[in-house]
């Protein structure tokens, strides 16, 4: 039967582990024969150990191989479903056989506080709640470990039942350092953390027995109740012990003299009656029970209903609760792993966001640098435009002065031509009067000579102005070359600046065609004042 084998697997492993000599994970078949024969005898099976000789060709077996043999050759003869009382009885007898094999490992210890019976009960509790896991150092070896939360519940319950102080922080630190507990450290923790200052061995044994009955024997509730007789309808007080399958009652609290039991089946129901009484309806008949107060009646009714709900199953109530706690722990572990994965994702997202922020910051710095470069180039361009505008203004002034000098030169030339014409006329008219007008002619020649000198001087001034005009042209050409170079750089840095906007800003500082002669005239006047 798979359920019975699963329930006693931890006990069988403890016996198997005790039979090992070198901790290799293998046990000789001759040693396993004795254990197999004892288990078969408890199940009314004889000779099941003989098949070990022919099972596999090796002289030793590991635990997986031995468990497979038990499943196929020993437990397969049992029915698929056993009543809960029979299941508990088989488990108890197989556990006793396994305990006889491995008890020396746990009994012969120095400064032992628990009695031998209490150690056996702790052994049963450990095998009930422990998990069989692979040994990380040897793939053929296993070990039974108890979760720290289960150790915490048992140790705290034992300490509270004996009135001992319980240091939760100390146990938390211990569980963190040790992790899961094996049987020997589990017993040592109970002795060191739950029995502080307790010297009464009877009280210790009774406290362990209460926990044992609750977890292993599947006792849901115990206490005094009154029961109405079947033949004589009187209410008599008994000590009742409630399990999922039955409600047993005894004469005294020692539970030695059993008076009978009330069967609890899946169809059973509980009904409250007046006078703090309870009616337990079973498929066979109804039983009337009495309590002392309302609170006790409510507690017993709830416990009886719980026993009825779990009476039809193929597994004990405490094992189902332990399995539920394991599932909850696994769920919490999965939730923790999911939370850790989510936290890792959030951390990765935060790191990615920080990387993007850094990239954006670098981009902003780069844009700021580019804007600064553009601003500097704009300032430089404006300065060059101002210089170009000033050069053009100077050119207009020079051109105006040159035009005025040219105008004066034309006037002088016209005056000279007029004088020449007059001279010719005078020469023609006064040819006959030459001697009379020699002085006048000498004076006119002198004036002509002065005019010629003035013309030469004006010619020199014109040449000087032409030279200045050429220098101005060269300066303008140099400015235009610099401007074109800056415009090329500007197009590289800020391609959005259009050519039309640049030309309009450049020509906005240039004088119009009508203003140029005036500027040239002003420039010529300035030069004349400088010379004078």
How many helices (H) and strands (E) the chain has is answered by 15, 11
Rg (CA), the chain: 60
* Phi-psi sector, 370: left (phi>0), alpha (psi -120 to 50), beta: alpha
Do 25 and 145 touch, CB atoms closer than 8 A? no
> 473 and 339, same structural domain?
yes
Which pLDDT value is given to residue 92?
Answer: 92
Q: What 3-state class would DSSP assign to 251?
A: coil
Q: Same domain, yes or no, for 265 and 374? A: no
Of 168, 190, 215, the one marking the end of a domain is: 215
Choice among 29-38, 63-72, 486-495 with the minimum mean pLDDT:
486-495
Instruction: Tell me which residue of 134, 133, 166 sits closest to 151, measured CA to CA.
Output: 166
> What is the rounded distance in angstroms from the CA atom of residue 471 to the CA atom of residue 524?
16
Q: Would 446 be classed as within a structural domain?
A: no
Structural tokens at position 149: 């939360």
Q: Could you tell me the pLDDT band of residue 507, with boundaries at 50, 70 and 90? A: very low
C-alpha count within 13 angstroms, C-beta hemisphere, residue 486: 21
Residues 463 and 505 in one domain: yes
Q: Give the pLDDT band of residue 494 (cuts 50, 70, 90).
A: low
Average model confidence (pLDDT) across the chain? 85
At which of 195, 215, 235 does a domain end?
Answer: 215
For the cut 60, the answer to whether the pLDDT of residue 510 exceeds it is no
User: What is the reported pLDDT for 10?
Assistant: 92
Judged against a pLDDT cut of 90, whether residue 50 lies above it is answered with: no
Residue 442 falls within a domain, yes or no?
no
For 141, residues 6+ apart whose C-beta sits below 8 A from its C-beta are 23, 24, 25, 62, 63, 134, 135
What is residue 221's predicted lDDT score, i.e. its pLDDT?
93
My answer on whether 12 and 63 are in the same domain is yes
Residue 520 has pLDDT above 60, yes or no: no
Per-residue pLDDT, 496: 54
- State the total domains in the chain: 3
Q: Are residues 231 and 195 located together in one domain of the fold?
A: no
178 in any annotated domain: yes
CATH of the domain at 230: 2.30.29.30
Are residue 209 and residue 345 in the same domain, yes or no?
no
Convert the pLDDT of each residue in 108-166 to its tens digit. Answer: 666 678 888 999 999 999 999 999 988 877 777 888 999 999 999 999 999 999 888 88
Classify strands 286-290 and 277-281 as parallel, antiparallel or unpaired. Answer: antiparallel
Domain membership of residue 10 as a residue range? 2-215
Torsion of CA 364, 366, 367, 372, to 10 degrees: 120
Token pair recorded at residue 469: 């005009």
The reply to whether 210 and 233 lie within a common domain is no
H or E segment to which residue 213 belongs: helix 201-215
Distance from C-alpha of 211 to C-alpha of 114, rounded to nearest angstrom: 14
Taking alpha carbons only, the member of 118, 112, 195 closest to residue 157 is 195
112 φ, ψ to 5°?
Answer: -80, 130
- Tell me, yes or no, whether 435 lies in a domain: no
| Percent residues over pLDDT 70 in the chain | 91
Residue 436 lies in a domain: no
Confidence of residue 523 (pLDDT cuts 50, 70, 90): low
Q: When comparing pLDDT for 525 and 166, which is higher? A: 166
Separation between Cα atoms, residue 148 and residue 171, nearest integer Å: 9
Same domain for 327 and 382, yes or no, is yes
User: Which of these three, 181, 215, 249, is where a domain ends?
Assistant: 215
């Amino acid at each position: 039967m798979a359920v019975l084998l699963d329930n006693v697997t931890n006990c069988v492993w403890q016996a198997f582990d005790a039979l090992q000599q070198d901790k290799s994970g293998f046990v000789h078949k001759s040693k396993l024969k004795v254990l197999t024969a004892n288990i078969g005898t408890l199940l009314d099976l004889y000779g099941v150990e003989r098949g070990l000789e022919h099972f596999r060709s090796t002289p030793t077996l590991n635990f997986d191989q031995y468990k497979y043999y038990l499943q196929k050759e020993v437990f397969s003869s049992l029915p698929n479903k056993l009543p809960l009382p029979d299941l508990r009885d088989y488990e108890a007898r197989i556990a006793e056989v396994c305990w006889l094999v491995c008890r020396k490992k746990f009994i012969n210890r120095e400064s032992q506080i628990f009695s031998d019976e209490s150690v056996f009960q702790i052994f049963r509790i450990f095998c009930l709640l422990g998990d069989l896991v692979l040994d990380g150092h040897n793939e053929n070896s296993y070990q039974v470990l108890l979760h720290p939360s289960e150790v915490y519940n048992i140790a705290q319950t034992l300490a509270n039942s004996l009135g001992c102080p319980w240091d939760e922080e100390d146990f938390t630190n211990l569980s963190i350092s040790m992790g899961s507990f094996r049987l020997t450290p589990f017993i040592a923790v109970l002795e060191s953390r739950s029995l502080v200052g307790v010297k009464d061995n009877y009280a210790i044994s009774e406290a362990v027995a209460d926990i044992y009955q609750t977890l292993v024997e599947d006792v849901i509730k115990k206490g005094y109740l009154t029961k109405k007789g079947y033949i004589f309808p009187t209410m008599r007080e008994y000590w009742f012990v409630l399990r999922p399958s039955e409600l047993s009652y005894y004469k005294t609290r020692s539970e030695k003299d059993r008076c009978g039991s009330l069967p609890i089946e899946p169809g059973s129901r509980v009904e409250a009656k007046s006078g703090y009484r309870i009616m337990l309806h079973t498929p066979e008949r109804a039983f009337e029970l009495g309590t002392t107060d309302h609170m006790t009646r409510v507690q017993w009714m709830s416990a009886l209903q719980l026993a009825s709900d779990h009476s039809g199953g193929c597994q004990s109530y405490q094992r189902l609760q332990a399995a539920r706690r394991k599932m909850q722990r696994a769920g919490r572990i999965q939730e923790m792993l999911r939370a850790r994965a989510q936290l890792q994702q959030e951390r990765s997202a935060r790191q990615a966001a920080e990387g993007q922020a850094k990239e954006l910051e670098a981009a902003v710095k780069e844009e700021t640098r580019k804007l600064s470069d553009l601003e500097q180039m704009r300032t430089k361009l404006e300065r060059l435009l101002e210089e170009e505008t000033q050069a053009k203004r100077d050119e207009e002034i020079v051109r105006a002065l040159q035009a005025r000098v040219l105008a004066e030169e034309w006037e002088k030339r016209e005056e000279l031509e007029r004088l020449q014409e007059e001279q010719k006329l005078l020469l023609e008219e006064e040819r006959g009067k030459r001697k009379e007008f020699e002085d006048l002619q000498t004076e006119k020649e002198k004036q002509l000579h002065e005019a010629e000198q003035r013309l030469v001087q004006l010619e020199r001034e014109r040449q000087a102005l032409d030279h200045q005009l050429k220098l101005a042209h060269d300066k303008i050409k140099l400015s235009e070359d610099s401007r074109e170079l800056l415009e090329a750089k500007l197009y590289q840095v800020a391609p959005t600046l259009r050519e039309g906007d640049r030309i309009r800003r450049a020509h906005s500082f240039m004088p119009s065609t009508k203003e140029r002669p005036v500027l040239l005239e002003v420039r010529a006047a300035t030069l004349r004042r400088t010379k004078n």
